[in-house]
Amino acid sequence: MNKKVILSGIQPSGTLHLGNYFGAMKQHITLQREGEAYYFLANYHALTSLQDGELLRKNTHDVVLDYLALGLDPDSCTLFAQSDVPQTTELAWILGCLTPVSLMEKGVSYKDKISQGLSPNIGLFTYPILQAADILIYHSDLVPVGEDQKQNIEIARDLANKFNYAYKGEFLNVPEERIVESVSIVPGLDGRKMSKSYQNTIPIFEEGNALKTRIGLIQTDSTPLEEPKNPDTCNVFALIKLFGTQEEVNEISDLYRSGGFGYGHAKHRLKELMDREFSEPREKRKELLDRPGLVEEILQEGGRKAREKAESVMGPIREVTGLSRRSE
């Protein structure tokens, strides 16, 4: 039986944070050996919000280092940059010609981003079409993403069906989404969704005093130290739940409820749990910094493999759409 194609992307639009880790990267790493996995840096998508070439290049490089440090193995999956596969934008145009404007107008992510102050550019508006092309160009079966990406995956399924219907054949595979079940939305310092655009993040590779200061900024209510507290409404506890074992989480939950356990204590426990989870990746990331050329080597090889696959899907599409000429 053929292996399932697993595909996901992440925008190199800033420093990666715990929302990206639990909502996306952690499961990318877990899934890398369960199928034919493709993971990419969505640098075309990042252009919708970032117009600084040097910064985009640096972020792209940093996200590769983050992935490698966290355990992504480029021998088990294909890691590449979106812009190294031009077939993606080619397919995006074709899909755009089958996309009703009204479908884009329903996009919640567009409205969200505009309300956060991003410029309402066409790239942002048609973002889901490019994302659909990302997914469909590899005949992906499974797309592991966070809850907030649900609608975009639904649009990709919709566009695959529209294409197949219009051209009367099974040219594009209709993918499934795989939403991380245990994590819906990771809260940020202010309790809203943790997001680069809200400046409320805890970066994955923050450590030492900088991490302590960051954790110190998590908003809590003003219940005095000695009084019992409700863990279920506390932002610190929401993060503790992501890092702790069931036993640790139960223990800390009991401490909240029994009183005499302050938010400062909770934050200290959170830092300990984060240090445990990330101590190895932090060391590994420092080692990787001593290997110049490694990231580029990985992206070159990943790009080559991804292009090969994308080209095999694009061939029949050019044929059926009439874009390629028949040799007489």
- Active-site residue list: 113, 193, 196
In three-state form (DSSP H/G/I as H, E/B as E, the rest C), the secondary structure along the chain is CCCCEEEEEECCCCCCEHHHHHHHHHHHHHHCCCCEEEEEECHHHHCCCCCCHHHHHHHHHHHHHHHHHHCCCCCCEEEEEHHHCCHHHHHHHHHHCCCCHHHHHCCHHHHHHHHCCCCCCHHHHCHHHHHHHHHHCCCCCEEEECHHHHHHHHHHHHHHHHHHHHCCCCCCCCCEEEECCCCCCCECCCCCECCHHHCCCCECCCCHHHHHHHHHCCCCCCCCCCCCCCHHHCHHHHHHHHHCCHHHHHHHHHHHHHCCCCHHHHHHHHHHHHHHHHHHHHHHHHHHHCCCCHHHHHHHHHHHHHHHHHHHHHHHHHHHHCCCCCCC
Which residue in 6, 94, 145, 242 binds ligand TRP (CB under 6 A)?
Answer: 145
Q: Which is nearer to ligand TRP, 8 or 27 (CB)?
A: 8
Task: Rank residues 135 and 211 by Cβ distance to ligand TRP and give the closer one.
Answer: 135
| Binding partner of residue 134 among ligand TRP, ligand ADP, none, CB cut-off 5 to 8 Å per kind | ligand TRP
Q: Which positions from 72 to 111 touch ligand TRP by CB under 6 A, shown as an x/- string?
A: ----------------------------------------
Tell me the backbone φ, ψ of residue 18, rounded to 5 degrees.
-60, -30
Of 63 and 255, which CB lies nearer to ligand ADP in the complex structure?
A: 63
Amino acid sitting at position 171: F
Site string for ligand ADP, 10-39 (x = CB under 6 A): xx-x-----xx--xx---------------
Question: Counting contacts by CB under 6 A, is residue 32 touching ligand TRP?
Answer: no
Least spacing, CB of residue 149 vs ligand TRP, in Å:
6
Q: Which is nearer to ligand ADP, 175 or 262 (CB)?
A: 175
194 binds ligand ADP (CB under 6 A): yes
Q: Which does 48 bind (CB under 5 to 8 A by kind): ligand TRP, ligand ADP, none?
A: none
Using CB under 6 A, pick the residue from 11, 48, 87, 195 that binds ligand TRP.
Answer: 11
Residue 145 makes contact with ligand ADP by CB under 6 A: yes
Q: For ligand TRP, which stretch binds (CB under 6 A), given 110-118, 130-138, 201-209, 314-322? A: 130-138
Count other Cβ atoms within 10 Å, centred on residue 187: 21
Distances (CA, A) of 231 to 10, 142, 220, 234, 244: 31, 34, 11, 5, 14
| Binding segment (CB under 6 A) for ligand TRP, from list 31-39, 145-153, 287-295, 308-316 | 145-153
CA proximity to 134, closest of 185, 181, 172: 172
| Interface region with ligand ADP, contact rule CB under 6 A, candidates 26-34, 55-63, 191-199, 295-303 | 191-199
Q: Is residue 133 a contact residue for ligand TRP (CB under 6 A)?
A: no
Is there binding between residue 149 and ligand ADP (CB under 6 A)?
Answer: yes
Binding site for ligand ADP (CB under 6 A): 10-11, 13, 19-20, 23-24, 145-146, 148-149, 183, 185-186, 193-197
Binding site for ligand TRP (CB under 6 A): 7-11, 42, 45, 131, 134-135, 143, 145, 149, 152
